[in-house]
Each structure stands twice: as structure tokens, then as C-alpha cells.
Amino acid sequence: MTQIIGESIPRVDAVDKVTGAAKFADDIQFGPGLLYGRLVRSPHAHARIKKIDATRALALPGVKAIATGADTPGYIGLYLQDRHIFATDRVRYIGDPVAGIVATSEEIAEQAIKLVEVEYEVLPAVTDPLDAIKSDAPLLHPDLGKYTVANFIFPKPGTNISNHFKVRKGDIAKGFAQCDAIVESEFRVPQIQHVPIEPHIAVAQAEQSGKITLWAASQSPFAQRNLIAKALGISQGDLRVIAPYIGGGFGSKAGVSMEACAVVMAQKVPGRPVKLRLTREEEFFTTFVRQGLVARTKIGATKEGKLVAMKTEYYWDAGAYTEYGVNMTRAGGYSSTGPYEIPNVHADSYCCYTNHPVGGPMRGFGMPEIHWGIEQLMDQLAEKLKMDPRAFRLKNCLKTGSDVVTGWKMHPIKLDECIEKATAAIDWGKREPASAPHKKRGKGLAIMWKAPAMPPNAGSSSYVRLNEDATITVGLGGQEIGQGTHTVMAQMVAAALGVPVEWIRIATPVDTLYSPYEWQTVASRLTWSMGNAVVAAAKHARQQILELVAEHWNEKTEDLDIKDGNVISYKSEQSLPLHDMVIYGLPKEGDCGWRGGPIVGRGNFMPTYVTGLDPETGQGPRSVVHYTVGCQAVDLEVDTETGQIEILRVAAAFDVGKAINPDQVRAQMEGGVVQGASSAIFEKLDLRNGKVVNPSFVDYRIATSVDMPHKIIPIIVEEPQDDGPWGARGIGEHAMVPTAPAIANAVYNAVGIRLPSMPLSAERVFLAMQEK
């Protein structure tokens, strides 16, 4: 048996005596004492819990314990603490966890949850955000006014509105009076699922000492540690979260969902690890879903094509608990105009409680939802003015120095260049024939913007530790979820320190006991924020090395450099390799001792310049750190006999500031296009009276290889960000934002129909064409 340093569970080097094959199953990693958990979930969208009787379940051989709401009186939540880990007095959506069974096998646990008897008093349910805001709607959170909430979130106690974000800029009445053309419409965006290939899974162990270790597929190990510790009234120092590589996240594994249940269940059996794994069916409706949205928008312009006024109401279907949804509502509010300069704006963004699955972060964080309506209305307004949609956008899009909706000046960007390059790539303005007589061809475009939606003080930290052979171990807290962030961090350290990238080693897995702090792996912020921290740590290590060698050579640090792992002098032309001296130092003359010692660099980063916004007007000096902007242009065909959409070309041009790894930037654009097209054409959680009736890949369709665009053209545009490492900013989420409206605009260009809600399925497109 070998003990891995820092692990509270011994790993066993074992070989199966029969087959001789190595065993790396659960009992190998966590020992033969591993227990398994399953959750008792509410069958009702809204009900009061009258009684829980677990007598029969606990009598089942192999059942070890049960956890209920009685064990979790505290509240948990990121921006708004509005839920218990296990439901206490009432359940608010189908799937709300009521109890957790711990048993010796998953099969026994599954059998036992069916034996737990829960008595409910069914209550009226709210299943539409427009119903939720009515004065006579059932109140889903009577204690809303007592919840702990971030100071930039504005709940309305006594209602089902957990956040109301307002924008009041200019004079909206006078603005519309100046307009020669006005368009308005209502758009709906359904809930969809992230559907990562790896489901949510967690293993927790509570020691007799009270210390707890949680292994979780998590985008947010430090946030999980903080939120779970607060909810359970324990020290963050006594809760350790270990997060290995993740099999897909897209936001679903941010914050806390089922992981807290695993911790509470482990507390019931001290000393024994407990494994909790969600089924694919549970994955569809018991974890975060992308929030639904009802958007009512009115936009006006002058006959010269200049935007003058915009009025918007967003009603977010945030589900039963809105700990994350409240910030998405805020992001929708401060980005409500889309990437356009509009002098008169009146916007209200409402986060509405409903008895639907819990809304949470998903790639784009509210931006795909709001751009769905904005970008279609911009096309309609251009058509009304008899302007080309491309020319209309070039005239009105944000540019460097433009007035942003929240009152500050736009930082340097090249959105106009994105528009020009994306449209040129699909031969915009050129009518091209369809591939068959029964098909119609059309082109469309959409532009976008997105800022990292985060608190003003979300921080990053890193360490850079040199080894004897001059390889470098980099400690960081950002998670690798397939986006390649560890590769980019290695590139940054190598460039900042002056060594080959092959020398860099990223310390994994992320472990809150040993890894430096990182807020969360969300918001497309790691290249920018964690990148700044990593570069600072590398520069700190570099400075120590240069000072050591400068003293050894009796030279000035400004005359020295590090190239390819060697310290060189531009003055004396001496050279010294890094190996050994970065640990053991350098000898003084005359055998009089040594100078230096182990080199460890440290760095951190936190934006200090984001300000609050006026709660009545949404105006302030700087609402966000920055925006990434871009454009997508789509060339497609619609089959008039079936309604099927076939995407021929998508050009995606985004201003990324600086592409640290161009291949990965292009891959992010390609992935965003595919996921955006999937959400536009196929995806929808079919909710009926609060119940998801399509919780499987049989009935919930996502795009596959046969649905891919024939050609994706990723285009990198670079206007450096002033506070980004080498000018870089994020691109992870952005390519998903404009895809759906660009497709919708292209469908209209092809066959002259508009559907105000997604998805643009073949059936719905065909029926709309028949109706037309």
C-alpha cells in the first residue's frame, strides 16, 4: 500500500490474482468501505412536505443511513441563498431532493428510495414566468425578503421576482417620437440541457475529526467548498474539494447542485466514503438547465437608418431556485441593447420563480437568449427601412469609444471588422442557386457581445515552482473541461519565464487543499483572469532568478535575460543554465557559502475597476471588465417538402483581443457554432405541468455529425485588451451566442417565415411554410 501525499484516502496498488489486470474501480480508489447513495425526489412541482417515514427503507439489509431536510436547516446559494440542500418544508419542482439513502450498493440504495414514504400536500404550481408576476400568483418563496443576497441583486419580497434589473437611459418617449420606423415583437426561448457526456458524480467522506473530503466533477471547486461549508456551518478549512478532469461541463457543473447532498450523506456515516452518481434521466431535469425567457422588445430608427430608441422587458423562467438565475437576469439587463449604440433605452429584466427545473449557467450565460430576439428585430427594422442588414449593422454597431447602455465608453474593439470579414466569407449579397428545385437558399447574419458575468472582485491566483532539472510546476485553480486552458497557461508561463513550453507541468487535479485559489471556471474568464495571475507568478520567479544571477556575476538585472532556459547577459555575453541553481542556488566566491535557494513565484489578479450600477437607472462608471464581440454569417438551404434546414456555410469572426493559441481559438468557434446550431434547430426540454417529458436522448435531440454545417470558417480578429495577458480576452462561450438568430435570419431570407420561438425544427418550419 502506498500513501499519496495529501490524499486522505490511501490508494492501493492491487493486481487481480485471477487475470493479472490492474483494477482501478471504485473499491481500489476508495477502498472496500465505499458506500453508495441515491436520492428521494419530489414527484410534485409544488407541494408541502407533511411527513417522511423511512422505517421500511432503513429496515432493508444493506441500508446504512438516510439524510433529510432535518439535517440541512441552512440555506445555500451563490448570489442568492434561497434553497436547502434537502427540501425542508416544501418542494418546488419535480425532482427536488427530499432525502438521500446510503447503502452498500447502488442497487440497494435504488430499491430503498422506493420504500421511503413521503406525505405531501399538493399546492398550486406556477409554470410560466408571465403567470409568476401576476398579483394573485401562488407565492413560491414567502421568505424571499429574509434570504441572504449579493448587494447587486434586487429581489422583490412578497412577489415571485427574485431580481429586477433596470436600465433607464435618455428619454424613451422622445426617442420613439423621433423614429420613422419601429418594430416590436415577443420572443420565447425554451429551457434546454447541457447534456455533458459525463453525468454529475461526487464522492464524499466525513472523517471522525469532522474534516470532509469531496471528490467532484466540478467547474467550481473553491466555490463549492465555500458554499457547502457555509450552509453546513463548518470551516472552509475543514472541507477539501478535489476536482479531476471533467467530461464536459458547459456551465452545468458550476456552482453547487448534487455535490452538497453527497457531503450531507457522508456525514451520516463517518469514516465511510459515499458515492452519488446521477442517472442520465436525472441529468436532464435535476441539475441546472438553461433558463427559459419571454422577451418583449420594441426598437426604432430614423429613416437614415440610425437607431434611436429601444424598450425591452425580459421575463426569465428561472425555475424553483434562482441562486444563479438572478445574475443571468442582471447580465441580460446590462447587455439588453446587444452590441449597438442606442441613446434612449428603457429595459426591465425580471428573474421569475416558477415550478420548473432550476435555471443556471450555460454556455453564453443569457446572451444566446436575448440575442435571439434582438438580432431578428434588427433584420426586420432594416427590411422596413429598405436597408441591407449588413449595412444597417455596420452603421449602428458599437465601436471604440461608443456609449454603452450602462453609461461608459466602449474599450477598443473591431466589431465592424468582424462583420465585414464574416459576411465576405459567405459571399454576402450574392444570390446563389439552391441544390435542388424543392430547396430554397438563404443567407443571414447576427452580431453579439458578451462580458464575463461575475462579481466585481472575482480573483485568481497561481504559483510557479522550479524543479532541479529546471522543469516548472504550475499551480492553478482553474479547471480543465476540454477547452484547453492548461495548454494556454503552459504557453503563458513559458513565454513569461523564458523557457521551452515542454518544460511546463500543470499540477493536477485541482485540490482546494493545495491548489491556489480560483473563483470558478465560468464566464470565459480564465485566459484573461487566471492568465494574468499565472503570468504574474512566472514574472515573480523570473525576477528572483535574474537577481540571483546578477549578484553572482556582479551585473545589473536589466542587462540579463532568460532565453530557452538559460540566463544570458547582453553585457558580458555569459550564459548559465537554470537547472540545479533554481533549487540549490549559486556558490559565493572563495568557498564562502551560497546565495539563492528554491525559486517559487507567486501571482494573483483581481479586477479593481468594476463599479456598482444605480439600481434605478442601471448607469455607472464601469459595469463589467470588458466585452468580447463578434459576428456570424450563415448560408443555408431549406427543404420546402420537409422543412429541414441544411447549413452550408457558417463564418464566425470574433475579436479575441489576442489569440494565445490560434488553433484552440478556432476550435472554440467551431464548437460554439455546432452547439448554437443544435440549440437553434433541435433542442427543447418539453415541460408539461412542470414535468420534463423528454428526459433521454431518445426524445431530446442534439446535433450529431450528420447535422454539422458543411463548412465552418473561423476568423480571428485581434484588438488587444488593455488588461489582458498579451491583450487576450475570452472566447469560450461567445461563438454560441449569435448562431440561432443568424440561422433564423437566413431561414427568413430563404422562405420568408419567422418563428418567434426555438427550436426551428423541420416540423415547425414546414408547418409555418404551409400556413404562409
pLDDT in tens, 423-474: 999 999 999 999 999 999 999 999 999 999 999 999 999 999 999 999 999 9
369 and 495 in a single domain? The answer is no
Does 546 share its domain with 619? no
Q: What is the pLDDT of residue 15?
A: 36
Q: Is the pLDDT of residue 322 over 90?
A: yes
Mean pLDDT, range 27-44, rounded to an integer:
93
Nearest residue to 226 via CA among 209, 208, 238: 238
pLDDT for the residue 25: 56
Residues 240-255: what's their mean pLDDT? 96
Q: How far is CA 310 from CA 178, 341, 374, 388, 621, in A?
A: 12, 10, 10, 20, 21
pLDDT band for position 17 (cuts 50, 70, 90): very low
pLDDT, position 14: 36
Residue 19's pLDDT is: 32
Three-class DSSP category at 679: helix
Report yes or no on 505 lying in a domain.
Answer: yes
Let me know whether 306 and 377 are in one domain: yes
Q: Would residue 152 count as lying in a domain?
A: no
If asked whether residues 376 and 503 sit together in one domain, one would say: no
Q: Is residue 632 part of a domain?
A: yes
Q: Is the dihedral of CA 477, 484, 254, 657 positive or negative?
A: positive
Whether 267 and 315 map to the same domain: the answer is: no
- 194 found inside a domain: no
Total domains, the chain: 3
List the grid coordinates of 480: 480543465
Residue 535, pLDDT > 90, answer yes
User: Once rounded to an integer, what is the mean pLDDT over residues 203-207?
Assistant: 98
Angle, CA of 454, 366 and 444, to the nearest 5°: 130
Do 227 and 115 fall within a single domain?
yes
Q: Supply the CATH number for residue 94's domain.
A: 3.90.1170.50
In a domain, 525, yes or no: yes
N- to C-terminal Cα separation, the chain: 73
- Summarised one tens digit per residue, pLDDT across range 610-649 is 999 999 999 999 999 999 999 999 999 999 999 999 999 9
Q: What share of the chain is helix, strand, coil (3-state, %, to 5)?
A: 30, 25, 45
* CA gap 142, 165 in Å, rounded: 21
Identify which of 695, 647, 660 has the alpha carbon closest to the alpha carbon of residue 95.
695
Residues 189 and 371: their CA atoms lie apart, in Å, by 10
Predicted confidence at residue 764, as pLDDT, reads: 98
Residue 22 scores a pLDDT above 60: no
DSSP 52: E
- Which residues does residue 216 pair with via DSSP β-bridges, in sequence order? 202
Within a domain: 38: yes
Q: How many CA atoms lie within 13 A of 740 on its CB side?
A: 31
> Which residue has better confidence, 24 or 480?
480
Q: Which three cell numbers stand for residue 484?
A: 484547453
Distance between CA atoms of residues 426 and 637, nearest Å: 13
- Cα 318 → chain centroid: 16
d(Cα 737, Cα 604) in Å, to the nearest integer? 30
Nearest-angstrom CA–CA distance, 723 and 728: 8
Does 708 share its domain with 736? yes
Which 3 state secondary structure label does DSSP give 69? Answer: helix
Average pLDDT (522-551) is 98
Residue 569 burial (10 A CB sphere; 0-12, 13-18, 19+): middle
How high is the mean pLDDT of the chain? Answer: 95
Q: What is the largest CA-CA distance in the chain?
A: 95
Model confidence band, residue 28 (pLDDT cutoffs 50, 70, 90): confident
What integer pLDDT is reported at residue 6 of this predicted model? 34
597 and 648 both lie in a single domain: no
Query: What residues are paired with 213 via a beta bridge?
Result: 205, 240
Q: Is the pLDDT of residue 495 over 60?
A: yes
- The Cβ of residue 752 has, within 10 Å, a number of other Cβ atoms equal to 12
- Grid coordinates 425567457 are at which residue? 293
Q: Are 503 and 579 contacting, i.e. CB atoms less than 8 angstroms apart?
A: no
661 and 763 in a single domain? The answer is yes
Q: From CA 185, how far away is CA 378, in angstroms rounded?
A: 11
Asked if 550 and 682 sit in the same domain, the reply is no
Distance CA 527, CA 517 (A): 15
Sheet containing 439-450, strands listed edge to edge, beginning at the edge strand earlier in sequence: 439-450, 628-639, 645-655, 711-717
Query: Mean pLDDT across the stretch 258-279?
Result: 98
Residue 717 has pLDDT above 90, yes or no: yes
pLDDT of residue 1: 26
Range of the domain at 741: 289-454+612-771
Among candidate residues 605, 626, 659, the one where a domain is terminated: 605
Exposed / middle / buried, residue 238 (Cβ in 10 Å: 0-12, 13-18, 19+): middle
- Cell 556558490 identifies what position? 587
Question: Do 448 and 463 share a structural domain?
Answer: no
Which CATH number does the domain housing residue 545 bear? 3.30.365.10
For 590-606, the pLDDT digits (tens) are: 999 999 999 999 999 99
Angle of CA points 11, 17, 19, to nearest 5°: 105
Mean pLDDT (whole number) for 262-283: 98
Assigned domain for 2 exists? no
pLDDT digits (tens, 9 = 90+) for 104-150: 999 999 999 999 999 999 999 999 999 999 999 999 999 999 999 99
Q: Where do the DSSP E strands lie in 109-232? A: 117-122, 161-169, 181-189, 201-206, 212-216
Cβ proximity of 67 and 100 under 8 Å:
yes
Any domain includes 431: yes
Instruction: Give residue 5's pLDDT.
Output: 29
Given this model, what pLDDT does residue 751 score? 98
Q: What are phi and psi of 419, to 5 degrees?
A: -65, -45
Residue ending a domain, among 586, 605, 624, is 605
The DSSP call for residue 63 is E
Cell numbers at 62, concatenated:
444493506
Per-residue pLDDT averaged across 682-701, rounded? Answer: 98
Confidence check: pLDDT of 736 > 80: yes
d(CA 234, CA 228): 8
96's grid cell: 427536488
pLDDT digits 0-9 by tens, 575-587: 999 999 999 999 9
Nearest-angstrom CA–CA distance, 317 and 359: 7
Catalytic residues: 733
Final residue in a domain of this structure, among 556, 587, 605: 605
> Do 475 and 517 fall within a single domain?
yes
User: When comparing pLDDT for 18 and 77, which is higher?
Assistant: 77
Query: What pLDDT, on a 0 to 100 scale, did the predictor assign at position 29?
Result: 84
Q: Is 770 exposed, middle or buried (0-12, 13-18, 19+ CB in 10 A)?
A: exposed
In this prediction, residues 466-493 reach a mean pLDDT of: 97
